[in-house]
């Protein structure tokens, strides 16, 4: 029996906005005259793999250890 649900972080897409560029896919390097560069973390896609579901879009809720008494 599988007990899973849609990932609450990425809404099941498996992707989240890249933390380094905020989802823009571009980063601004200070000191370089007004130019944006593709984000090295997401290769300019603006998306990152969801940290919770590892890109699967599926979240497995922790199974509570039911203690038997
Ligand atoms: Zn990025
Ligand atoms: Zn996710």
- Supply the pLDDT for residue 2: 66
**Ligand 2 centre distance from Cα of residue 34 (Å):** 34
- Supply the pLDDT for residue 3: 80
- Supply the pLDDT for residue 56: 96
**Ligand 1 centre distance from Cα of residue 66 (Å):** 41
- Supply the pLDDT for residue 69: 65
**d(C-alpha 63, C-alpha 36), whole Å:** 45
The dihedral formed by the CA atoms of 52, 54, 57 and 58, expressed in degrees to the nearest 10: -70
What residue ranges of the chain have pLDDT lower than 50?
none
Q: How do residues 3-20 score in pLDDT, each as one tens digit? A: 889 999 999 999 999 989
Taking a C-beta distance cutoff of 8 angstroms, is the pair 14, 50 a contact? yes
């Amino acid at each position: 029996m599988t007990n899973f649900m849609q990932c609450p972080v990425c809404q099941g897409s498996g992707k989240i906005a890249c933390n380094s560029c905020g989802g823009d896919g571009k980063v601004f390097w200070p000191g370089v005259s007004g130019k944006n560069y593709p984000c090295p973390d997401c290769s300019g896609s603006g998306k990152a793999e969801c940290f919770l579901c590892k890109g699967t879009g599926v979240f497995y809720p922790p199974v509570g250890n039911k203690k038997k008494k």
